[in-house]
Structure 1
Amino acid sequence: MSNLVETRYRVTGMDCGSCAAKVRTAVSRLREVEGVEVSVASGAMTVTHPPDKTLLPVLRASLTPLGYGVAPLDPAPTTGPVPSAGHDHAGPADAPWWRTRKGVTTLACGLALAGAYAIGTHIPALESVAFLAALAVGLVPIARRAVAAARAGTPFSIETLMTIAAVGAVLIGATAEAAMVVFLFLVGELLEGVAAGRARAGIRGLSALLPKEALVERDGGIAAVPAERLEVGAVILVRPGDRIAADGVVVEGVGDVDEAPVTGESVPASKQPGDAVFAGSIATDAALRVRVTKAAADNTIARVIRLVEEAQDAKAPTERIIDRFARWYTPAVVAVAAVVAVAPPVVAGAAWDAWIYKGLALLLIGCPCALVISTPAAIAAALSAGARRGLLVKGGAALETLGKITDAAFDKTGTLTEGKPRVTDLVGLGRSERQVLSMAAALETGASHPLARAILARAAADRAPVPPAADVGAVPGQGIAGRLGGEALFLGSASAADARVSLGAECEARVAAFERDGKTVAVLLAGDAVAGLIAMRDEPRPDAAAGLAALKAAGIVPVMLTGDNLHTAAAIAQNLGIVGQGGLLPQDKQRIVRDLQARGRVVAKVGDGINDAPALAAADVGIAMGGGTDVALETGDAAVLHGRVADVAHMVALSRATLATIRQNIGIALGLKAGFLVTTLLGITGLWPAILADTGATVLVTANAMRLLRWNPKADRARRS
C-alpha cells in the first residue's frame, strides 16, 4: 500500500445503492484503479491508485455515459496507506431539480408527450410519429445509459429493462403507452434524486451551523479570518449573538451559551474561564474570548458529520440480505418475463402480441429499485435524525441491534451519575452548618481535587463566606490543616480525625449511617473538638431515574456494574430502582456481559469508553456516554453525546421506529409488485401501471423513509402511548 495513494471525488447524480453499485463496478474495472469506495450518503468516491496516474479524465470517460458527474474533492492525493478517508462537508450546493440533467430531460419528455397528445387529437395521421418522437426524447438518454452500464459491467440495470420494455412496446404497436411509461420512469427517477438530496442536506445542514469567519486576536488587534483556517491555540473573540467558530476553551468572559444547535439542550449553559465550548453554539449575552483547541476538520460538528456519513455507508444486516437477493432477482425477472412472453404462444397457441405485452410489463414490475432502497433510505434518514439530537449510531448494524436489546448494563461514575461528588449533607456539631461550610471552604480554597471542588461549589451556591485561612497544608494520606482566626482547623477522613480527637458515639453513628448510604464523609475539627461533618456523594444524573424507567417501559432490563465500593453501589442502585453490582474490575464487567449473552440476552453496555472498554467490546452494542468528547465519538458502536441517560431509551426508540419503517418499506415494495404481477397476468393492468408499480413503490418507500428525518423522542412517545 505504501506505493499507492488515495484521491477523493464528488460524484453527482447518485440517488441510491444501485447507483453506487454501478459507479463502483465501472470504476473498479479501470486498469488505473486498485480500489474504490463509494458513499451515497455524502456523494463521494475514494479511489486508490498508483501515484503517477491522473484519473480524472478516465473517470469522466467512464461515469459520464452512465449519467454521473465527477469532480475532485482533494487538491492533491494523500500519500501512504490511509485506511479510511474523511468526507467533504461543504461541497457545492445542489442545483434546483429543474436545472439538473434529469430535470431537464423529464420536462422535455413531458412537454413532448403533451405535444404528441395534442397532435394526435388534431392530426390523427401524425399521432404515431408524434408519440415516437416523444418516446425518443426520454428513451434515448436512458438507452445510452443502459448501453454504458452493460459495457461497464452492469448488464441488468433498470435502464436496460426500461429500454427493452419500451422498444418491445413500439414493436407491438403500443407506442403511446411506451412514451407514457418512459415519462413516468423519468418522473420517478427525478423524485428519487430530490429525496436523496434531502437526505444529504439533513447532514450537510450541520455544516451551516459554523460561521464563515472568525474574529482572531492578532498583533494587538482583531482580524477576520475564514473559520476553516483557524489554528489550534488561536484566541478568537465571540460577540453576543455570534456563533462560536471552533471547539475551544473560554479564557475570558462569563456568560450563557446556547448549545441547542449542537446538543439539543433548550436551556443555555453558563460558561466561565476554563469551560469548554462547541463550534456552532451561540454566545447569548456576553462577549467571550475562546482559545481554539480543535482544527476545523476535527471540531465536534465536523467529526459527527464524518462519523455519520461513514455509518450510513456501513450496510445493515437487512440491507446486505436484500443486496444478495437483488443480484439474482433481476436476472430471474428477465427470465420469467421471457417465459411469459414466449411460452403461452408456443405451447398453447396464444396471441403473441398479448403475451409479449404482458412479458414487457413484467420486466417493469420486476425492477428491484424499490426493494434495494427500502432499507438504506430508512437507515440514512434515521442516522441523520439521531445525529441532530446527539444520538450517534455508527452504522446500520448497530442501529438494527439497538432495537433488539433486552438488557442494558450501565457503568456508574460519569454514566448514571454526574461523575463528580456533591455535598449532600452538612452537620454542625457545636457550630452552625454555615460555619462548618465556611471553615471547610477556607481550608480548601485553591485545591483542585474532586472533594475540594464539591465543598467550594456548595459554598458558592449557599453564598457562604470564605475567609482566608493561614498556614494551610496537606497532611499526606489524612486531609488538610490550617488556621483561621487563630484557631487550628483540620479537615479529613473519619479515621484520621479519630486519631487526633475522639469522635464520640453520636458522631461515629452519623458517620456510619452516611457511609452505609455510599457517601464519603469529611470530619472538620476546630481545636480539639469536632466542629461538624460534611457528607459527599457522586449523585445520579437528574434524568437517570426517568431514563431507566423509560428503558423498563420498553421491556429492557437495566443493571448497574461499577468498580465503586459495595455500599456506594447498593445505595445508588436502590435510589434508582435497579440491581447494582459493585467492586468490579473491567474483566468482571466483561464476564457479566458474556454471562447475559450466554443466556440468550441481547446486551447493550453503556459506559465512559475507557475503563469499560472490555465490556463495551463484548456487548452486542457498546454505547459511550459523553459530551462530544473524543472518547464518546470514537469508542463503542454508538455514542450519547449529551450524556443523558434518557437518550439511551431514545436511541432504542429510534432503532425500533427505523425497523418498523424498514418492514413497511419492504411490504410496500413487495406488495405492490405482487399485486401488479397478478393483475398483469390476468390482463387487467398494462405497461404504465407496471412502471407505477416500480417507480411508485420507489417513491413511496423513499418518502416513507424520509419521515424519519423528522423523528423526535417526544412525538414518538406520544404516538406509542
Structure 2
Amino acid sequence: MKAYRVQGLSCSNCAAKFERNVKELPGVQDAKINFGAAKIYVNGDTTVEDLEKAGAFENLKIREEREKKIERPPFWKQKENISVYISALLVLLSWGLRTQYSEEHIIPTVGYAAAILIGGYSLFIKGVKNLSRLNFDMNTLMTIAIIGAAILGEWGEGATVVILFAISEALERYSMDKARQSIESLMDIAPDEAFVRRNGKELVIRVEDIQIGDTMIVKPGQKLAMDGIVTKGISTLNQAAITGESIPVTKTVEDEVFAGTLNEEGLLEVKVTKRVEDTTLSKIIHLVEEAQAERAPSQAFVDKFAKHYTPAIVIIALLIAIIPPLLFSADWSEWVYEGLAVLVVGCPCALVVSTPIAIVTAIGNAARKGVLIKGGIHLEEAGALKAIAFDKTGTLTKGIPTVTNIVTFGGKEVELLAMTAAIENGSKHPLATSIVREAEKKDINFGSIQVDNFQSITGKGVKAVVNNEIYYAGSPALFKELHQTIEKRIDIQIKKLQTEGKTVMILGTANEIQMLIAVADEIRESSKEVIRSLNNLGINTVMLTGDNQETANTIGKQVGVTSIEANLLPEGKLNFIKRLRNAHNSVAMVGDGVNDAPALAASTIGVAMGSAGTDTALETADIALMSDDLNKLPYTINLSRKALQIIKQNITFSLAIKLLALLLVVPGWLTLWIAIFADMGATLLVTLNSLRLLRVKE
C-alpha cells in the first residue's frame, strides 16, 4: 500500500466518507484511512489529483508521504473561513435593519436567507445527499434544523445557527491541526539532503537518493540526514529529537548515530547504514502514526455509542415535534421548533472528538520527549497500572558489571584468572564478559589456553575441559549441587561478599573450589528517584533478578523497591509476572526488550529501555523509552493518567451538556440559540481540554 498525507481532515465522519470515495476510484483495490495521523493508505494505481477529487467535498489537500507539508495561509485567512465572515456580516446588517423594519419584513429576511446560503452552502449539499441515503450525521441534522427554522419563519435563528456551526467546524479543524503538529514536526527534524562522498566525489544529494555505504560529511551545527556509523572524527551530538535526552552525547569512531540529531562541535564522517525509510527517526514517525490508528477502549465505546446515538436523537426530535400537538392539542409550530432544536443539540460533534483528539495530543507529546506509546490502548492501560516489575541488570543498574574482589584458595591468582577468562570467553553473559575484561585489563594472556567441550549450564554457569580436567565456573548454587556442601570458611567469605551487594562466581572442579570472583553492577543515578516517584504515585515496584537473595536485597534496598524477587531464571520471571497480574490486574514489565521478551509479553504493558536503534525493542515493546532514562517512566504514567482523566471529563461533559439542554424541552425553553451554543460550546471545551495534554511536562 502507498501512503499519502491528508490536509484539512477534521472529523471522523469526513474521514470515513473520504475513504469510501477513494475505494470507488478506478484502479483502487482498497484504501484505509488513519484519522489521527491524517494519512490514507491506498492499494492500487491512483494519482494525487484523483485523491483530491475524492476529497473535494471537504476541500482536502493530498501529498505523497515524504513530501513536505503544503504551507497553508494563517487560520484567519483560510478560504473555508471567508464565507463565515461574509455570513456574519450579513447577519449583523440584518439585525440592524430589524430596528428600522419589522421582524417579518422582506429586507432583513433576504439578508438572513443570503447568510444561510453563503455560510451553509457546503453544509446543505452534504446534508441533502446524506438525507437521500438516510445517513443521519451532524450535517444531516443541521440541514433539517436550518430548513425547518426557515419554514417556520425563524430566519434570524437559522442564519445564526449556520454561522455558529461554521465557527465550530473551523475551531475543530484548527484544534486537530494543532494536535497533529507535534507529530508533523517530527518530519522536519532531519534535513532533506546531505553532503555525501561517493566514488571519491563530494556532492549534495537528496536523502531519497543516498545509498547504504555512502559517506556523509557532517559539519558542526548541521543535522544528520541518515543513520550510520562514525568512521572519522569526534564530536558531541544532541540526540534530544530521538531519545529525549537533554545532555549531548560524545560520539567517535565506530559509534552509531541517528538521523535528526545535531552535530554540535567537530567534523564527522559517517558511513550510511540504513535507507531513509528505515532510519530510526522514520520508524519513530511510522510507529507514532500507526499508534494513532489503534483505537483506545474509550474511543471504541464512543464510536459504538455514537452509531446508535444519532438515529436515536432523530427519533426523539420527531416524537417531540408530533406527540404534544397530536395528543395534547399543543401548537404545531412551537413543538416542531422544539424538535428542530433537539436535532441541533443532538449533534454528536463533541462526543465524537472527545477521545481521538486527546489520544493524538498525548501520543504526540510523548514522542517529542523520547517516549513511544504504540497505541491508544497502551496509553489508557499505562494510566491504570497498579504494579511495575523491573529487570535489575541494565534497567535499575547500568548493566556493566565489573570485578571487585578475587579470593584464591591454594593457587596463583594470575593462572586461575587466566583459566576462568579462557572458559568464560565462550559465553556472552555479562558476568562472563566482566571477567574477560578484568583479565584483559591486567594484560593476562588467556588466548593460548586450550578449552574443550564448552557447555553452558542454564542459569547456573558453564563447564569446560582444560588440561584434561573438567572445570566449572558459576554460581554458589552450582557448587552446592556438585559438592553437596561448601566448606564453612569459603561459605562465610561468599556470604560476606553477597551482603555487600556483589554477585559471587566460583571457579573449581567437582572436588574443590579454587577461586571466588565478586562482581558488582553499578546502580543508575536515576533509579532511586524514579522508584520513589512511582511509589508516591501508589504503584507497587518489584525488582526481578537472577542474582542470589542477599545481593538482590542489598540492591533492592538501595533503590527502594516495594518487593524483591531473586534467583529467577527467564521462566521464573514469566511465572512471577503472571502471578503479579492475577494480584494487580494491570502490570508493566520494564526490560531491554530482548532478553526479557517472555515476561514483557506476559505483562499488561511491556516497556523497553534504551530503544534507540534497537529494532527488536521498537517492535516488541508496547511503550519504548528511547534513551536509557528511567525518569521518562513517571512522566509517562502521569501523562497517561492525565489523558484518562481528560477523556473521562470530555465524555461526561459532552453527554451531560446535551442531557441538560434536552431537559429544557420539558418547559419548552429550548431554542435554536441555546442548542447551537450547547453543541458548539461542548465541542470547543472538549477540544481545549484535550490540548492541555500538550502542556504535560517531565
Q: TM exceeds 0.5? A: yes
Which letter maps to 1:299? T
1:572 counterpart = 2:572: no
Would you say 1:187 and 2:171 are equivalent positions?
no
- The one-letter code matched in structure 2 to 1:117 is W
SS of alignment partner, residue 229 of structure 2: strand
Structure 2, unpaired ranges of 5+: 409-413, 453-471, 476-486, 507-514
Matched, 1:622 2:593: no
Q: Measure the CA separation in 2 of the matches of 1:121 and 1:297.
A: 65
Per-residue CA deviation, residues 343-382 of structure 1 (Å, 9 max, x unaligned), is 1111111112211111111101111110111011111111
CA distance in 1, matches of 2:294, 2:179: 16
CA contact (8 A) 1:11 1:68 kept: no
Aligned partners of 1:374, 1:710: CA distance in 2, in Å?
18
Q: How does 1:194-213 map to 2 (within 5 A)?
A: 194-213=174-193
Query: Are 1:260 and 2:240 counterparts?
Result: yes
Greater Cα shift, 509-518 or 172-181: 509-518
2:195 equivalent in structure 1? 215
Q: So what's the TM-score if we normalise by structure 2?
A: 0.83
Of 383, 389, 393 in structure 2, the residue corresponding to residue 409 of structure 1 is 389
- Give 2:120's aligned amino acid: L
Report whether the alignment pairs 1:160 with 2:146. Answer: no
Q: Which amino acid aligns with 1:676?
A: A
Which position in structure 2 is the counterpart of 1:79?
none
- Cα distance change on mapping 1:419 and 1:567 into 2, 3 Å: same
Query: Does the 8 A contact of 2:179 with 2:360 survive in 1?
Result: yes
2:74 matched residue in structure 1: 96
Distance 2:67 2:687 in 1: 23
Instruction: Report the counterpart of residue 607 of structure 1 in structure 2.
Output: 591
Tell me how far apart the structure 1 counterparts of residues 337 and 521 of structure 2 sit (CA, whole Å).
74
SS in 2 for 1:324: helix
2:575 corresponds in structure 1 to 591
Who is 2:284 aligned against? 304
Does structure 2 retain, via aligned residues, the 8 Å contact 1:67–1:145?
no
Residue 244 of structure 2 contacts residue 626 of structure 2 at CA under 8 Å; is this kept in 1? no
Asked whether the 8 Å contact 1:25–1:154 carries over to 2, the reply is no
1:418 to 382, 398, 401: 398
Query: Does residue 1:175 correspond to 2:160, yes or no?
Result: no
- Name the structure 1 match of 2:112: 131
Correspondence for 2:483: none
Q: 1:407-486 alignment to 2 at 5 Å?
A: 407-422=387-402, 473=447, 475=449
Q: Give the Cα separation in 2 of the matches to 1:477 and 1:696.
A: 77
When residues 708 and 591 of structure 1 are mapped into structure 2, their CA distance, relative to the original with a 3 A threshold, is same
The amino acid across from 2:40 in the alignment is: M
Of residues 82, 87, 91 in structure 2, which corresponds to 1:109?
87
Q: Does the Cα contact within 8 Å between 2:14 and 2:58 map onto a contact in 1? A: no
Q: CA deviation at 1:8?
A: 3.4
Equivalent residue number for residue 84 of structure 1: none
Aligned pairs for 1:48-59 (under 5 A) are 48-49=43-44, 54=46
The structure-2 alpha-carbon separation of the partners of 1:228 and 1:198, relative to structure 1 and needing over 3 Å to count, comes to farther
Counterpart of 1:43 in structure 2 is 38
Correspondence 1:581 to 2:562 = no
Structure 1 unaligned spans of 5+: 1-5, 74-86, 429-435, 461-465, 479-491, 496-503, 524-531, 714-721
Structure 1 match to 2:685: 700
| Alignment equivalent of 1:18, drawn from 13, 38, 42 | 13
Q: Which moved more, 1:225-234 or 1:187-196?
A: 225-234
Q: Which residue of 2 aligns with 1:142?
A: 123
Coordinate RMSD, CA, aligned: 3.6
* Alignment partners' CA distance in 2, 1:154 and 1:383: 36
Structure 1 CA distance for aligned equivalents of residues 542 and 450 of structure 2: 37
Render the CA deviation track for 1:155-209: whole Å, top value 9, x for unaligned. 1111111111111101111101110110000000000001111111110111221
Q: CA deviation at 1:598?
A: 2.7
Alignment pair present for 1:671 and 2:680: no
Change (3 A) 1:332 1:671: same
The superposition leaves residues 3-61 of structure 1 with CA deviations (integer Å, 9 ceiling, x where unpaired) of xxx34344333213233233334555678655331111222212335xxx657777555
What SS does the aligned partner of 2:271 have? Answer: strand
The whole-number CA distance in structure 2 between the counterparts of 1:291 and 1:268 is 21
- Matched to 2:118, the amino acid is V
Q: Give the direction of change, closer, same or farther, for the CA distance of 1:98–1:474 in structure 2 (3 Å limit).
A: farther
SS for the counterpart of 1:542 is: coil
TM-score for both structures, normalised by structure 1? 0.81
Alignment of 1:471-550 (within 5 A): 473=447, 475=449, 513-519=496-502, 536-550=519-533
Q: Percent identity?
A: 38
Question: How far off is 1:474 after superposition?
Answer: 5.2
Take 2:433 and 2:26, find their aligned partners in 1: how far apart are those partners? 64
CA distance in 1, matches of 2:536, 2:400: 29
> 1:478-529 CA deviation, whole Å, 9 max, x = no partner?
9xxxxxxxxxxxxx9899xxxxxxxx99999766633454535799xxxxxx
The CA deviation at 1:137 is: 0.7
From 268, 271, 283, give the equivalent of 1:291.
271
**Contact 1:156-1:331 at 8 Å conserved across structures:** yes
- Once the two structures are superposed, what CA deviation does each residue of 1:446-501 show, in whole Å capped at 9, x if it has no partner? x99867986999999xxxxx89x6967454679xxxxxxxxxxxxx9899xxxxxx
Q: Which amino acid aligns with 2:673?
A: W
Q: Which residue of 1 aligns with 2:638?
A: 653
The equivalent residue for 2:339 is 359
Whether contact under 8 Å (1:358, 1:681) holds in the other structure is no
Q: Which residue of 1 aligns with 2:210?
A: 230
Closer, same or farther: CA 7–241 of 1 in aligned 2, 3 Å: closer
Check conservation: 2:221, 2:262, Cα contact below 8 A: yes
Report if aligned partners of 1:624, 1:631 keep a CA contact under 8 Å in 2.
Answer: no
For 1:293 and 1:506, the matched residues in 2 are separated by 55
Contact persistence 1:493–1:521 (CA under 8 A): no
SS in 1 for 2:664: helix
Q: Contact conserved, 1:102 with 1:186, CA < 8 A, in 2?
A: no
Q: Contact 2:398–2:523 at 8 Å: present in 1 too?
A: yes
> What SS does structure 2 have at the residue aligned with 1:675?
helix
Determine helix, strand or coil for the equivalent of 1:180: helix
Distance in 1 (CA, whole Å) between partners of 2:657 and 2:388 is: 39
2:220 equivalent to 1:240: yes
Q: Which residue of 2 aligns with 1:716?
A: none
Provide the residue aligned with 1:561 in structure 2.
544
Contact 2:238 2:263 in 1 (8 A): yes
Amino acid at match of 1:623: V
**Counterpart residue identity of residue 570, structure 2:** P
Q: Report Cα offsets for 1:185-244 as digits up to 9, x if no partner.
A: 000000000111111111011122112322212344532222343322222122121112
